[in-house]
A and B are shown apart, each in its own frame.
Chain A
Amino acid sequence: MPKRTDIHTILVIGSGPIVIGQGCEFDYSGTQAIKALRREGYRVVLVNSNPATIMTDPELADATYVEPLTPEILEQIIVHERPDALLPTVDGQTGLNLAVELAARGVLARYGVQLIGASLNAVHLAEDRLLFKEAMQRAGLDVPRSGLAGSIEEALEIAGEIDRYPVLIRPSFTLGGAGGAIAFDAGDLEEKVRFGLRESPVHTVLIEESVLGWKEFELEVMRDRNDNFVVVCSIENLDPMGVHTGDSITVAPAQTLTDKEYQRLRDQARTVMSTVGVETGGANVQFAVNPADGRVVVVEMNPRVSRSSALASKATGFPIAKIAALLAVGYTLDEIPNDITKVTAAAFEPSIDYVVVKIPRWAFEKFPSVDPTLGPQMKSVGEVMAIGRTFKEALQKGIRSLEIGTPLLSPPLAGEGLGERLKHLLAIPTHQRLFALHAALTAGWDQPEICRLTGFDPWFVAQVSQLVALERELAGYSLASFIAGRVIAGRWPGRRPLGSRARGPAAPPGGRHPSHLPSGGHVRR
Chain B
Amino acid sequence: MDTCAAEFGVDTPYLYSSYETESEAAPTDRRKVMILGSGPNRIGQGIEFDYCCVQACWALQDLGYETIMVNCNPETVSTDYDTSDRLYFEPLTLEDVLDIYEAEQPAGVIVQFGGQTPLNLTKPLQAAGVPIWGTAPDAIDLAEDRGRFGALLAELDIPQPANGIAANLAEARQIARQIGYPVLVRPSYVLGGRAMAICYDEAMLESYVAEAVAAAEGRGLLIDQYIEDAFEVDVDAVADGRQVIIGGVMQHIEEAGVHSGDSACVLPPYKISYYHLNTIHEYVRQLGLAPGVRGLMNVQFAIKDDIAYVLEVNPRASRTVPFVSKATGLSLARVAAQIMAGKTLAELGIDTEPKIDGFFVKEAVLPFKKLPGAINTLGPEMRSTGEVMGHAAHFGHAFAKAEMAAGTALPLEGAVLISVNDFDKGSASKIARDFHRMGFQLLATRGTARFLAHAGLPVQAVNKVSQGSPHVIDYVRRGELALIVNTPLGRDAYSDGVALRREAIRYNVPLLTTLSAASAAVAGIRALRQSELKVRSLQEHFGRGTLRTSALESRL
Contact = CB atoms under 8 A, between A and B. Distances in A.
A287 B532 CA distance: 48
Interface stretch (B88-96, B444-452, B510-518): B88-96
A80 B89 CA distance: 42
A353 B4 CA distance: 8
A367 B51 contact: no
B371 interface: yes
Interface stretch (B16-24, B139-147, B466-474): B16-24
Given A17-B365, A59-B549, A365 B74 contact: no
A138 interface: no
A307 to B, nearest CB: 8
A519 to B, nearest CB: 8
Interface in B385-413: 385-391, 401, 404-407, 409
Interface residues of B, number: 102
Contacts of A491: 19
A370 B406 CA distance: 23
Interface in B460-518: 506-507
Interface string B150-171: 0000000000000000000000
A344 B3 contact: yes
A342 interface: yes
A104 interface: no
Nearest to A178: B370
A27 interface: yes
Report which residue of A21, A314, A400 has the largest number of chain B beta carbons within 10 angstroms of its beta carbon.
Answer: A314
A486 B406 CA distance: 47
Interface stretch (A158-166, A415-423, A469-477, A503-511): A503-511
Interface in A473-497: 486, 488, 491-494
A25 B507 CA distance: 28
Contacts of B507: 198
Nearest to B363: A17
B322 interface: yes
B325 to A, nearest CB: 8
Nearest to B96: A400
Nearest to A26: B75
B459 interface: no
A51 B387 contact: yes
Contacts of A350: 3-4
A314 B91 contact: no
Contact of A378 (B42, B51, B370): B370
B323 A51 contact: yes
Given A58-B547, A341-B10, A400-B91, A67 B535 contact: yes
A28 B55 CA distance: 14
Contacts of B326: 51, 56-58, 66
Interface residues of A, number: 108
A50 B386 contact: yes
Determine the main DSSP class of A at the interface with B: loop
A175 B446 CA distance: 38
A18 B389 contact: no
Given A316-B3, A488-B95, A506-B19, A382 B73 contact: yes
A377 B370 contact: yes
B405 A17 contact: yes
Interface in A367-415: 367, 369-371, 377-379, 381-389, 393, 397, 400-403, 407
A7 to B, nearest CB: 18
Report which residue of A363, A378, A388, A393 has the largest number of chain B beta carbons within 10 angstroms of its beta carbon.
Answer: A363
B449 to A, nearest CB: 29
A258 interface: no
A49 B389 contact: yes
B270 interface: no
A52 B374 contact: no
Given A31-B77, A361-B41, A60 B540 contact: no
B506 to A, nearest CB: 7
Contacts of A53: 47, 51, 322
Given A35-B556, A64-B539, A385-B72, A393 B41 contact: no
Interface in B159-193: 192
B1 interface: yes
B254 interface: no
A429 interface: no
A363 B406 contact: no
A63 B540 contact: yes
Contacts of A65: 535-538
Contacts of B77: 27-28, 31-32, 54
Contacts of A371: 372-373
Report which residue of A198, A341, A389 has the largest number of chain B beta carbons within 10 angstroms of its beta carbon.
Answer: A341
Contacts of A76: 533-535
A366 B335 CA distance: 34
Contacts of A73: 404, 533, 535
B326 to A, nearest CB: 4
Interface in A50-101: 50-54, 56-60, 62-70, 73, 76-77, 80
B323 A52 contact: yes
A57 B323 contact: no
B385 A381 contact: yes
Contacts of A352: 5
Given A32-B80, A400-B96, A315 B385 contact: no
Contact of A58 (B534, B542, B556): B542
A39 B82 CA distance: 14
B357 to A, nearest CB: 14
B8 A343 contact: yes
Contacts of A31: 77, 80
B405 A363 contact: no
Nearest to A496: B19
Contacts of A340: 2-4, 10-13, 81
Nearest to B95: A488
Given A57-B55, A80-B535, A381-B385, A317 B406 contact: no
A506 B533 CA distance: 64
Interface of A: 16-21, 23-25, 27-28, 31-32, 35, 38-39, 45, 49-54, 56-60, 62-70, 73, 76-77, 80, 176, 178, 198, 307, 310-311, 314-319, 338-344, 348, 350-354, 358, 361, 363, 365-367, 369-371, 377-379, 381-389, 393, 397, 400-403, 407, 486, 488, 491-494, 502-508, 516
24 contacts: A16-B386, A16-B388, A19-B385, A28-B80, A49-B388, A51-B362, A52-B47, A52-B51, A54-B77, A56-B538, A65-B536, A73-B404, A176-B370, A314-B79, A340-B3, A340-B12, A340-B13, A342-B11, A354-B1, A366-B382, A379-B370, A381-B367, A401-B72, A505-B21
10 closest pairs, A vs B, by CB? A382-B41, A18-B386, A17-B386, A49-B405, A351-B5, A387-B16, A68-B405, A385-B74, A51-B389, A401-B91
